[in-house]
Amino acid sequence: MKERSVSILNRILVSTLPVRTDSLQKEFKVSSRTIRNDILTINDFLASIHLPVIQSIRSQGFFLSLSDEEGQILKSELSNEDKTDYLERKERLLDLILDLALGDDKIFLHRKETFYGVSKSTIDEDMRQIRQELAFYHLDIISHPKAGLLLEGSEAAVRIMLYSLLSPEMTKMGTAFSSHKSRIISRYILGEIILKVNEIFDRTILTVDDDIHRTHFILFTCIWLLRVKRGTKLAQDDLPKEAVAKTAAINNYLEAVCQEFQIEPSALEMQYIHSILQSFNIKKNDSPINWIQLQILTIQLINFVEQETKIPFNRKDSVLQQGLYHHIVSMIARVKNNIQLTNPLTERIKQSYGSIYKAVAKFACQLEKMLGRKIIDDEIAFLTIYFSTTLSEINQGNKYWYRAVVVCNHGTATGKLLAENLKEFFNIEVFAILNSREISIIDKLDVDLVFSTVNIDYQNKPVLVLDSIIQEDTKMRINHFLKANQQARRVTQKKEDYTKVFLEILQLLENSSKAEVDKDLYAAIEAVFTKNCLRINKREVQPMIEDILKDEHILITDKNYSWRDAIKFVSAPLYKEGIVNKHYSEAMIESVEKYGPYIIIGPHLALAHARPEDGAKQLGLSLAIFEKPVAFGKEADKQVQVIFCLSAVDAFSHLNIMKSLVNLIRATNKVEQLCQARDVQSVKTILFHSKEES
């Protein structure tokens, strides 16, 4: 059977309810007639091995039920069929490229003709298409009389090409019955190698529970490992353009890989692979040098999608900002390195959240201009998941009838989206999101049902295997599952009476002699909440720009300043108050010297900053207005008159300030007014009303 027929068979087998024709059409991008023809082919095959055939149930769809014994027979027959099955062109191209890049033997075309059982004209067309595909990576194939076919081009390009070719297939592997392509890949990247690298990952990294990032991390490691073992050489130009800070976890991981596989890579190779692996976002607390610009970009994305879709995402913007920011940090690093994540759910996300996806894609066009590279649909779909999850949080009610756990191997963000959908549509409280390696934890949790996106070996509680993206046919299956497990339904808890908490807070306010809420009073109120087991989302309790920008932090000068002196000048009030240490201004200057004037965030406007670990002791903001422009370069767009200096100590306490600055960037007339301001009161009037008027 064709690979599509096997995939359709898998799709019907894992469903506990009939699968509609239109669902299969959308998933496989073919007509209903093609689906019916594939079903006939599948049924002929099933009948030939004496197994039940797929039933077509009127107005419901296709259904097939096999016993465990029949399932094993089917798996065995499909495996035997594949050994003699004719490879289609795409499969031959995959095998040829992998043989060129990872194979051990010399490659001669006449041998490949015999191996594939095809004519010379067919293999010639295969080679033409391979050359066309490789040209995108600036690679070519040369033919040597004695050495056979050889890849020619940059070593980094070879690795990127292999990653781009394999990552879509790797995310599909692990289905009930393997495809031809997965078996081809297994010939060149042995399962035992992947298993050993996975074990090293668990031993040294461990903190990552996102299977999407994990899969890509391990895939690129295997490609690197196999190319290094072949003795290929990197050039200095092959290194990623932007240096990244090395992390102990990845160092330990790479040392273990080198020891396990007995390789001694050059310092250049180690620098290269560390930079690449870092872009898979293994540690979310690593801050790139342009972290403030990326946070501004995140806020602009949220504002844009809200404007396009009319969905009030800012009601939940703190958590949304954090998820998007961390993904964007790693995504931009990957895009710059020509590496992008493959998302197996992209088409379903487009179908289910079309308006959000289109808005994100529209914003991505602006980002592509900045990066000078195309952002693929799969990365846009990942960003869409964060918005879709927030939409479910906005829509869902507060009553929960069932308590469940979600098992998902498509990544943390996708697991959260499924969890929020279950809450929104079915009043299901999702107690935990796990991956398939953590199912032993389920018995320790106070849950009654299990929803899984993969087949799992677990019998202690009812399990429903379903798609990560909930569509109409999935809703029908979930309703059927809940009805069959009504004994798991819990009585909705009654709302608590918080009168006592309210009275305690009133008493604290009455006893306080201070006109404003200070640190001590805040701590006392927080203690009342803690005592009564009430959680405070500290990300929501963030100061506004008017709370943090003091009069003495606003400077106006008519003197001439170099850009270095201007940074020292604007940061001086923060240093004087102990908000930053002496090194902070030096760190800001060093960053601009190394990376250029990235702190310019709009016409005439700059935001000076360094990483929190570079000397930020407290949250603080200062502002300097220069009557005579400060030149960060000769170009007109490098002349600045308004410079903010931000001291941020964590990832979220300054986000309201950032939103105010984003509004300021959008309102160019406000920046022009600030350039002309000559007293502190005028500056405050312009700034503190900007968000209301823009």
pLDDT in tens, 541-567: 567 788 788 999 999 999 999 999 999
* Position 538, amino acid: K
Query: What is the mean pLDDT for each group of 10 consecutive residues in the chain (694 residues)?
Result: 80 81 84 90 90 88 88 80 65 92 92 87 93 91 91 92 85 54 84 91 73 83 94 84 70 94 93 86 60 85 90 75 84 84 81 91 90 90 89 64 88 87 86 89 91 90 88 82 83 58 75 63 73 59 77 94 96 94 93 90 91 88 95 92 89 72 80 92 82 40
Alpha-carbon gap, residue 543 to 313, rounded angstroms: 20
Partners of residue 55 on adjacent β-strands? 63
**CATH class of residue range 396-488:** alpha beta
Phi, psi torsion values for 442, nearest 5 degrees:
-55, -40
DSSP track, 606-647: EEE---GGGTB-S-EEEEEEEEEEEESSSSGGGEEEEEEEEE
Helices 472-484 and 412-426, axial angle in degrees (round to 10): 70
* pLDDT, position 631: 95
Look up residue 390 and give its two tokens.
Answer: 């927030």
Instruction: Quote the DSSP letter at residue 432.
Output: E
- Which CATH superfamily hosts domain 545-693? Mannitol-specific EII; Chain A (3.40.930.10)
Q: Do the beta carbons of residue 179 and residue 7 sit within 8 Å?
A: yes
What pLDDT digit, counting tens, does each position of 408-431 carry?
888 788 889 999 889 888 878 898
Q: Which residues contact 95 (CB under 8 A, 6 or more apart)?
A: 87, 184, 187
Q: Say how many CA atoms lie within 13 Å of 27 toward its Cβ.
A: 20
Q: Which residue from 227, 223, 214, 203 is spatially nearest to 174, judged by alpha carbons? A: 214
Segments of 339-448 assigned E as strands: 402-407, 428-434
Beta 600-602 vs 605-608: how paired, if at all? antiparallel
CATH fold match for the domains 3-84 and 545-693: no
**CATH class of residue range 291-393:** mainly alpha
Beta 402-407 vs 428-434: how paired, if at all? parallel
Residue where the block lists tokens 């927080």? 526
Q: Does domain 3-84 have CATH number 1.10.10.10?
A: yes
Partners of residue 405 on adjacent β-strands? 432, 450
- Cα angle 325-600-657, degrees, rounded to a multiple of 5: 50
Q: Say how many CA atoms lie within 13 Å of 670 toward its Cβ.
A: 22
Alpha-carbon gap, residue 563 to 645, rounded angstroms: 13
* pLDDT, position 606: 93
* pLDDT, position 3: 72
Using CA atoms, how far residue 467 sits from 57, 344, 419, 454, in Å, is 21, 11, 12, 9
* pLDDT, position 359: 95
Ranges of each domain in the chain:
3-84, 89-278, 291-393, 396-488, 499-531, 545-693
Q: Which residues contact 530 (CB under 8 A, 6 or more apart)?
A: none
* pLDDT, position 55: 92
Q: Which residue from 597, 623, 599, 622 is spatially nearest to 609, judged by alpha carbons? A: 599
Instruction: Quote the DSSP letter at residue 195.
Output: H
Alpha-carbon gap, residue 193 to 350, rounded angstroms: 35
Beta 61-63 vs 55-57: how paired, if at all? antiparallel
Q: What is the pTM of this model?
A: 0.65
Beta 554-557 vs 605-608: how paired, if at all? unpaired
Q: Do the beta carbons of residue 296 and residue 601 sit within 8 Å?
A: yes
